[in-house]
Amino acid sequence: MNIPAYSLTEIAKHKPCPERWARVRALKLGKGKITAKQAVKAGVSFDDLVWAASVIAKADPEVESRLRAWLADVAARVLHIFEREHPADMRARDCIIACQRYARGEIDAAARAAAGSAAWAAAGDAARAAWAAAWAAAWAARAAAWAAAGAARTAAWAAAGAARTAKPRDAEQRWQFGRLVYWLSEERPKFWPLPDKQQTKQAA
């Protein structure tokens, strides 16, 4: 996989919000092409990175594939929440696996969409405390890239909801931010491992 890198001039063509763009331009990013890792090191925020990657993904299959892979990771990280409450329901897990396979070019869009529809149905069936993984997985399979941020945050908030404090949510968001940078900056990134199904059953 090629590491994506873009200049500010290329990103400006996508007409970013003037206020946010002014903040980004004030950072010491240089005039050449920069990677996500370099951008974040200079001070680019999570929201700004998601926006930039999302608009670039519309014309860059490599970035689109990496964004889908990132969302599959977000869903995989909270899959245990769904499966703890619904140990026999494989729809969310199957969707995440389909997203991973699609990102690797192993299945076509029709197969990915079918898995996404099943996960979407699972999200509607799941209990309030357990729907995070199915929701994120459904978005990962079906939504446009710009919806990525909302889906990821939904998963984080649901995963941390029991604590009812900002700290767990903030920690989850930091993980998501770091994971996004990882997917956009590494030459050979690896998917976040799915929880062992047998362990999930034992914990239920």
pLDDT tens per residue, range 32-66: 999 999 999 999 999 999 999 999 998 998 998 89
Scanning the structure block, which residue is given the tokens 């939904």?
A: 154
How far apart are alpha carbons 98 and 88 in whole angstroms?
Answer: 18
Count of CB atoms within 10 A of residue 149's CB? 18
Residue 141 confidence (pLDDT): 44
Average pLDDT along the chain: 77
> Do both 37 and 114 map to the same domain?
no
Higher-pLDDT residue of 184, 79:
184
Q: Within a domain: residue 2?
A: no
Please calculate the CA angle 56-49-34 and round it to the nearest 5 degrees.
75
Q: Residue 123 CB: number of other CB atoms within 10 A?
A: 23
**What pLDDT does 144 receive?**
35
Q: What is the pLDDT of residue 147?
A: 41
Helices (H), 26-144: 36-42, 46-57, 61-85, 91-103, 109-125, 132-142
**Mean pLDDT (whole number) for 67-88:** 85
> Does residue 169 share a domain with residue 133?
yes
Distance CA 136, CA 74 (A): 7
Q: Is the pLDDT of residue 176 over 50?
A: yes
**Which tokens is 108 given?**
């076509």
Note the pLDDT of residue 116.
60
- Which among 25, 41, 57 is the end of a domain? 57
| Bigger pLDDT: 188 vs 136 | 188
Same domain, 40 and 108: no
For 94-108, the pLDDT digits (tens) are 888 888 888 887 876
| Enclosing domain of residue 14 | 8-57
Cβ atoms of 132 and 154 within 8 Å: the answer is yes
121 vs 13, which has greater pLDDT?
13
Q: Are 109 and 61 contacting, i.e. CB atoms less than 8 angstroms apart?
A: no
Residue 13 lies in a domain: yes
Q: Are residues 133 and 35 in the same domain?
A: no
3-class DSSP assignment, residue 108: coil
Least confident of 19-28, 62-71, 83-92: 83-92
Q: Are residues 50 and 75 in the same domain?
A: no
